[in-house]
Chain A
Amino acid sequence: MRSRNVLCVLVLGAVLSFGCGGDDKEEPLVVLNNSNNVNNANNSNNANNANNANNANNGISQLEVLLDTSVTTAATGQTQNITFDVPEGAQSVVVNVIGTSPNQYTLNSWIDADGTQLVTTNWVRQDQFAPQFCTGCLQRVTSAVGAFAAMAPTNQDVELVSGTHTIQVEAFSVAGNQIAGVAGEAQILVTAKVAPERPPAGTIDLNFFFTGARGWTAETAKTDQVFQGVIEEVRTLYAQVGIELGDLAYYDISEDYQIIEIDQTTASLSPLFAESRMADNDAVNLFFVDELMQSGPLGGFGVVLGISGGIPGPTGQVGTARSGVAIATKSMPGVPTPMSKVIAHEMGHFLGLYHTAEQLLPIQDQLDDTSGSADELMNAAGNGDRLSEFQGVVMRLNPWVKN
């Protein structure tokens, strides 16, 4: 598989091309600059962050495509071993699996160049909290319908080692408590963020998609005081970890997406996220709908205020079944969490953050500097403000954040 490595480059403002480099197996590596002109990089009063912003101005990170290929899952749902080489200086690696809804995808294993098992083999069939979380994995992963991404590192215990890494992809379906492998094709895209050090600041571009919910359209939202106020609050929340909002693009999509119902067979979330294909830039997609009804992992459903396409969401491609974050905008008296925090929280998931403590489960995130307290943005109610230092590291290591 390594001979299939193709490098493409992600340049600020450029279209993310999944197929760049095509199938040309012997194409030499090409590394393009991922710097993103963080001229006003940081509004934080923190002096260190200000210095970091200067570094970001120099464009300290580059994205390299390590692997871009098609794979086949057998009847067991698993692929053969797939390898890719992580270069020296790689600060993070993201493995994207783009499959077909309604199948679920994850990594069946990930072993680094030192033989360390980052993702525990067969976790989907063995972990106590599968297929929601691999709690036994050194590098926690989850699973997702249609498209999936895993990033390393997203905690302090994972050291990204250069050299040959080996993964297996798994496709499966869930019926009741039973997991069944699914045979088929999937696309794999592996990217690395390469930099002399972990990026201390960055910028994230956003695409806004409007269904007409709350009366917002691509035209009106540009000047709507409520909407712009919400975005300003998100800007403030992210400034605390040295991330600023960059280019903001506005799009209209069909009113048919105002009410999103997600169940085992008739989910309207995947087609919603797939609408991001109309965007022509490398930005995180936010979809503003009226209401969201999320299915439970083992049946039932519930009203929610936001949904992320993954933890993290797919990187390097738009238009997948998981390419975005959906936000319910229906105004409700006494709603416990303001929309700005819902957006910041769901984007936090999309960039790789887990809940600091999962609700009703004995599961905390894998970070040493979070506690699960109510003042944290990533607590399950999402009504806190605070992002920890390492949460900031994780977010800035994600390819959607340009440094």
Chain B
Amino acid sequence: MNCNHVQRLLCDFVDGELAGNQMLAVRRHLNDCPACSAERDEIVAVKSTVANLFVPECPQGLESRLMAAIANESTSYMPRRSYRPVWAVCAAAAACLAFLAVANRPEQKTLQATGVVPYEIARDQAYSGGGDSLSGHYPIMPVSHGSR
């Protein structure tokens, strides 16, 4: 392991994030390399200063202010189930609208097919392909994407 490689791993090493083999290799290198060892000491110094940063005591009355904030939030809190009728009403209204839209759909022009329709095809999915010269019937043809 060379110095570049070790220095890339130093933060992980200091934070105890290296796996066993890597950790031992870095430790061996640090024993022999004063430059990398000094680097490690600097990271440790910064880390311990951050860890020991001064923090003032909690402000007086913080606990009661937090309790009051939660009490306030609690009164405005709506349990989930109270939303359910709203959703149910919305869903029912949407279903009614969809039904009315389908029921009141303007009647489409019925195809004038004189022959026997072999299977049922939705009206908007088919068109009359014109008279068949052999049978004299008007066969119902499915609409392809190209002809739409």
Q: Do A and B assemble together?
A: no
Contact surface of B with A, Cβ cutoff 8 Å: none
